[in-house]
Amino acid sequence: MEAALPVARLPPHDPKTPALSVVDMHTGGEPLRIVYAGCPEVAGPTLLAKRRYMRHHLDYVRRRLVFEPRGHRDMYGAVLVPSELPEAHLGVLFLHNEGYSSMCGHAVLALGRFALDFGLVPAPPEGARETQVNIHCPCGLVAAFVACEGGRSCGPVRFHSVPAFVLASDLTVDVPGHGKVVMDIAYGGAFYAFVSAEKLGLDVSSAKTRDLVEAASTVTEAVKAQFKINHPESEDLGFLYGTILTDGKDAFSEEPTTNICVFADEQVDRSPTGSGVTARIALQYHKGLLQLNQTRTFRSSATGSVFTGRAVRESKCGDFKAVVVEVAGQAHYTGAASLTVEDDDPLRDGFLLK
């Protein structure tokens, strides 16, 4: 019989060396690194003020979390912060390779499990099969519903979005290399441009990811140059987050519809994109292609993972007719770590490969 290998142990942590305590998860293949301890205080009276403070004063934390050598160009992060909303169980700031998002659906699904399992919400009553977690995102309060058993999370998570709406329908944009392309812009906690990949000469299900990324990035830059994004309630939310290329199958069907989301600095979402599904449901409802409580399945062309979505009720956002959307998916734990940054580490702020 072979001798068992000894368990490797890291040397004791120097208490003078900063350390971030993190839990890593993924939802539909899209990573999430949750910082639950060790982050310097993020000052500000509101969550949006905290996001501005972190961008201006603590951006090195984001770079250390998501960039190599501790992360990679498609890493995604979440920093837990206090919320000013009394009904919120937690507040969260979302991090990516370019900066800070206003909403992240895959992260909300993961954070729902995390909040229940790590005691950030009251323990559910005995026999409960689902518990609610109120998560304050930069776009607003989002309610996650976590399947549970014996007080612990299990199975799928679903969330109810902030009001989602269509900003521009059948908008014509001059896209370099592709001419005039008709597309839509919709909001699901973040703004996305939606365009059928076929209009760009691609098949979203079979094209190389690099080709899809280049096409989507060209669309994003064209929209930013030619169309002003405004949110009716907050300047902080008025920016185009990315482009979602679809298979064009927007009419209701029992069959899955496929898309890929390219956001921030050409970052590729491995999941079907929770805020993107929210916005796409709002778009389909706006165009009369979907009725309330009709559930659609959305597939990621990057991994094949799926989310479901449905419009649960009508709402308003400013003067826009909107819907609240329910998105559901599976989140999984992948590990936990203490990320240290020694003073003599030349890569203490990380680097981003181009």
Whether 194 and 115 share a structural domain: no
In this predicted structure, what is the pLDDT of residue 17? 78
User: What is the 8-class DSSP label of residue 17?
Assistant: S
Residue showing tokens 């899955």: 256
Whether 155 and 192 share a structural domain: no
- Catalytic option among 39, 104, 137, 148: 104
Average pLDDT, 10 consecutive residues per value, the chain (354 residues): 64 78 97 96 98 97 95 96 98 98 98 97 94 98 97 94 98 98 98 98 98 98 98 96 98 97 98 98 98 98 97 98 98 93 85 81
Written as one string, the DSSP assignment of 287-326 is TTS--TT--EEEEETTT--EEEEEEEEEEEETTEEEEEEE
Report whether 3 contacts 312 (CB < 8 A): no
Whether 249 and 305 share a structural domain: yes
In this predicted structure, what is the pLDDT of residue 22? 97
What CA–CA distance (Å, rounded) separates 70 from 73?
10
Whether 213 and 321 share a structural domain: yes
In this predicted structure, what is the pLDDT of residue 5? 65
In a domain, 200, yes or no: yes
Whether 191 and 230 share a structural domain: yes
Whether 24 and 129 share a structural domain: yes
In this predicted structure, what is the pLDDT of residue 124? 93
Whether 112 and 178 share a structural domain: no
pTM listed for this prediction = 0.95
Whether 313 and 174 share a structural domain: yes
Whether 171 and 257 share a structural domain: yes
Closest Cα to residue 330, out of 162, 148, 189, 158?
Answer: 158
In this predicted structure, what is the pLDDT of residue 9? 73
Whether 223 and 241 share a structural domain: yes
Domain range enclosing 36? 20-161+333-339
Written as one string, the DSSP assignment of 166-214 is EEEEEEEEEETTTEEEEEEEEESSSEEEEEEGGGGT--TTTS-HHHHHH
| 104 is known as an active-site residue | yes
Whether 256 and 110 share a structural domain: no
| DSSP SS3 for 144 | strand
How many domains is the chain built from?
2
User: What is the 8-class DSSP label of residue 164?
Assistant: B
